[in-house]
Amino acid sequence: MNNPLKKPIFFVAVFALLITACQSNQEKSGSTENIVSKTKQSAPDLEEPAIEATVEELLFAAGNYNIEVLDDMMSDKAMLGISGLKDGVWSNSEIAIGEFFASAKKGEPSPYYEIPNAYDILVTEGRIALVRADGFVYRYGVPQNKEINHFTLMKENGKWKILNISWTVERVPEEKKKFDLEIFARSYAQAWGSKRPGFVASYFAEDGAIQVNDGDPAIGRDAITKVAQGFMTDLPDMIVRYDSLVSKLNGTEFHWTLMATNSGPGGTGNKVKVSGYEFWQLDGNGFIKNSQGHFASEEYKRQLEFGIDN
């Protein structure tokens, strides 16, 4: 005998399955949309390379105490905030950027080198950026502090400008202060672009010497300062790029590339780009005892007169 309730129950069951399937499809569709949305949000922002370059330019200028460049990169109302750990106790300090610049001009700074080893970047509408950059501060190839930097940047007239900087500072334990020859070489290259010839000389031992091609050796930091000053006067925008280190039996070759414009007094205004190397012998304290510099002087002179492309 046919049960009259079977057909209604069957249709109800089918209808319920259809509703459940539709809901499932809607949930899957919504889930897919969420995944796509999250993927879009987490994709690398097109501004990130420019932001990283801005931060590295800032740290390069800061390591050289190049106040002119720093002033151009910073907002006039920028603040610096520092939280430092000493003897197990954290303490905070803050200073307006103008006060920092005034203090830096009065002091006798020494160069330092800092390049972040990790970045976290958050960009909003291509206009505001929050950056965390972790790294170590080195002096003459030896790590001094571990710093975690936080930068706030705003895009202004197509260029990223620094609004604020804050960072934490922790001293590197004495047992971990190991000399790193590559970092030493990179920071030495940075010093050549500092507009401070004494920074270059500070990488040499007190009685250290440098000889450029077949010229007479400059002995002692005062004489080395004069050599560096000559290049910095002729090539005010000079940048020396670290290329490589090559180990030799009795020393190390530091290979570099110099890029600049001959815009100093009586200069031609031509751009130059020349590569070379210095053969180093270091003393027991990690400073340059003797450097013999080599580069193609004839090509350098040709570029000074005619430029790179002629």
Residue 302 binned pLDDT confidence (cut-offs 50, 70, 90): very high
- Across all residues in the chain, what is the average pLDDT? 88
Of 12 and 290, which is predicted with more confidence? 290
- Rounded-to-integer distance, Cα 147 and Cα 135, Å: 6
Give kind and range of the element (H or E) at residue 295: strand 288-295
Percent of the chain scoring above 90 in pLDDT: 79
Find all residues with CB under 8 Å of 180, minimum gap 6, and list them: 138, 141, 142, 143
Does 17 have pLDDT greater than 50?
A: no
* Mean pLDDT computed over 71-93: 94
Task: Give the least confident one: 38-42, 105-109, 175-179.
Answer: 38-42
Does 110 have pLDDT greater than 70?
A: yes
Does 295 have pLDDT greater than 70?
A: yes
* Mean pLDDT computed over 6-30: 46
Q: And the tokens for 247? A: 């180990």
Contact 132, 149 (CB under 8 A): yes
* pLDDT for res 32: 43
Does 13 have pLDDT greater than 70?
A: no
- Rounded-to-integer distance, Cα 119 and Cα 44, Å: 12
Residue 105 binned pLDDT confidence (cut-offs 50, 70, 90): confident
Q: How far is CA 105 from the centre of its chain?
A: 22
Does 36 have pLDDT greater than 60?
A: no
* pLDDT, tens only, 111-142: 999 989 889 999 999 999 999 999 999 999 99
β-sheet with 118-124: strand ranges across: 89-96, 74-86, 159-171, 142-156, 128-139, 118-124
Does 41 have pLDDT greater than 90?
A: no
Does 264 have pLDDT greater than 60?
A: yes
Apex CA 253: angle with CA 210 and CA 216, to 5°? 20
* Mean pLDDT computed over 192-214: 97
Q: And the tokens for 73? A: 């990169």
| Strand 271-282, strand 288-295: pairing | antiparallel
* pLDDT for res 45: 78
- Rounded-to-integer distance, Cα 272 and Cα 257, Å: 10
* Mean pLDDT computed over 43-55: 87
* Mean pLDDT computed over 242-263: 97
* Mean pLDDT computed over 225-244: 97
Domains along the chain?
A: 48-176 (3.10.450.50), 181-306 (3.10.450.50)
Q: How many residues does the chain have?
A: 310
Percent of the chain scoring above 70 in pLDDT: 85
* pLDDT, tens only, 144-174: 999 999 999 999 999 999 999 999 999 999 9
Q: Give the C-alpha distances (Å, rounded to integers) separating 95 from 98, 146, 164.
A: 8, 20, 11
* pLDDT for res 106: 85
**Cα radius of gyration (the chain):** 29
